[in-house]
Amino acid sequence: MENVVQDPNSNRVRMRRASHSDAGVITEIRDSCWRAFYKDFLGESPVEDILKFRKEHPTKRDFEETLYLILELDGEPIAYASAGSLPDDPKGAFVKGIYVKPEHIGKGYGTLLLNALKDKFGKLKLKVLKDNKRAIRFYEDNGFKAVGEEKARIGGHLLDSLVMEWTNR
Ligand X SMILES: CC(C)(COP(=O)(O)OP(=O)(O)OC[C@H]1O[C@@H](n2cnc3c(N)ncnc32)[C@H](O)[C@@H]1OP(=O)(O)O)[C@@H](O)C(=O)NCCC(=O)NCCS
User: Within positions 135 to 164, which residues make up the interface with ligand X, using CB under 6 A?
Assistant: 135, 137-138, 141
Segment interacting with ligand X (CB under 6 A) among 6-14, 50-58, 102-110, 154-162 = 102-110
> Helices (DSSP H) in the chain: which residue ranges?
23-33, 39-42, 44-53, 60-65, 109-120, 133-141
Bridge partner residues of 94 (DSSP): 84, 125
Segment interacting with ligand X (CB under 6 A) among 57-65, 70-78, 93-101, 144-152 = 93-101
68 vs 99, beta carbon nearer ligand X: 99
CA R_g for the chain: 16
Ramachandran angles phi, psi of 150, nearest 5° = -145, 155
100 vs 117, beta carbon nearer ligand X: 100
Closest of 155, 20, 13 to residue 73, by C-alpha? 13
User: Within positions 33 to 62, which residues make up the interface with ligand X, using CB under 6 A?
Assistant: 33, 37
124 vs 128, beta carbon nearer ligand X: 128
* Distance (Å, whole) CA 75 – CA 145: 34
Which residues of this protein are in contact with ligand X, per CB under 6 A? 33, 37, 97-100, 105-111, 128, 132, 134-135, 137-138, 141
